[in-house]
Amino acid sequence: MNYQTRYEKSFFWHAFWIAYIEPLNVCTMNTIKLLFGFALSITLFTSCYQETIVVEPLIEDVPISINQVLGSHELWYVDINATLGYGEIPFLQKAFTVSFLNGVLYANNNIVGIGDTGDGFGIDVANYDAYDMILDVNHDLDGFVTFDVFQINNSRIELYNPELDTSYFLEGYQRDNFDYDYVFYDNIHYFLQEYEAWEKTYTSEFGAINEFDKENYLQFLAGGNDSTFRSSKDDIGINPMYIYWDYTGLYGVGDVVDDFYVKTLTLDYDFMGNEFFELTVINDKTIKLFHPVSETVYKFKGRGYIQYLKTADGKKQVKEKTRKFKKEKQENPRESLRV
């Protein structure tokens, strides 16, 4: 083969490579590059949206102890009209509030001084032991009483006495948000009973002369029908123990529309009919009586304060005062959980 022929063949294959093979290689490389880029994109896309599952630790409710429940509020108001069952626990029946402080039970048994006595807690009346939602009380007068304790909500508990099948309901407060004034004026009936006698200290010069001008002492008796009063014409200034009570009758205390701080007092005198007054409390030991018929104003001062359960010298008080239900008693649906 001569040089020209070899050159022609070489030229032919070079032209063929340029025309057909080289474009095919370029196309193939571009395809490979495209496929590689697509695969890389999918990998990156998948890694960005990878789902992460975090397992939260299980948090179990920690049961609250009975001492935490009893100590969660400084004062427990005894909602006497919510009581279920036909029995009565004397120390709860007479208390307006109770408090549980480190094994000592305090109570506000008196309206006089409520909010001030014992820094608002009242007086100590019992020791107690609390465990397994059971409350055992060793009361100074009533002795041993036991309760099952049920937490109704964060501020209300039920004390169930299985022996009498009776439940008392207590509403929790702190001392700084408890309305002592409301309790005082809502229970004026008992306030009047907390003195041995009410001595007349003032009679207005204005007003018509009437039979009540002669009455110098009043007494409102606790217990019994809870509505008995006595009056006396004895001279002012004698010891309440030596007062001769001339008359015994019935009395009633009522509300005045649109004025929570004024009450009505009705004294039932057989010989002169009912005497009607508007009653205003001046302080813990003084009351004012306005007699609308004669337009006379009287003031009476309390003599011989009665502190229920204990006297000022620590001796036990034998006088019985209990709060009365304002509605019919109801059967208790609660069942004892004790074996």
Task: Give the mean pLDDT of 288-295.
Answer: 97
- Ranking 19-23, 213-217, 259-263, 306-310 by mean pLDDT, the lowest is 19-23
Fold of 187-305: Lipocalin (2.40.128)
pLDDT digits (tens, 9 = 90+) for 305-328: 998 864 434 444 545 667 776 678
Q: Among the CATH numbers 3.30.450, 2.40.128, 2.50.20, 3.30.70, which is that of 66-179?
A: 2.40.128
Contact 333, 84 (CB under 8 A): yes
- H or E segment to which residue 35 belongs: helix 22-48
Give the model's pLDDT for residue 309.
Answer: 66
CA triplet 245, 248, 251: central angle to 5 degrees?
Answer: 125
pLDDT band at residue 74, thresholds of 50, 70 and 90?
A: very high
Q: Answer yes or no: is pLDDT of 15 > 70.
A: no
**Which pair of tokens denotes residue 180?**
């002592």
Domain residue ranges of the chain, discontinuous segments joined by + = 7-45, 66-179, 187-305
pLDDT digits (tens, 9 = 90+) for 141-154: 999 999 999 999 99
Of residues 53 and 269, more confidently modeled: 269
Please state the pTM of the whole predicted model.
Answer: 0.76
pLDDT mean across residues, the chain: 84
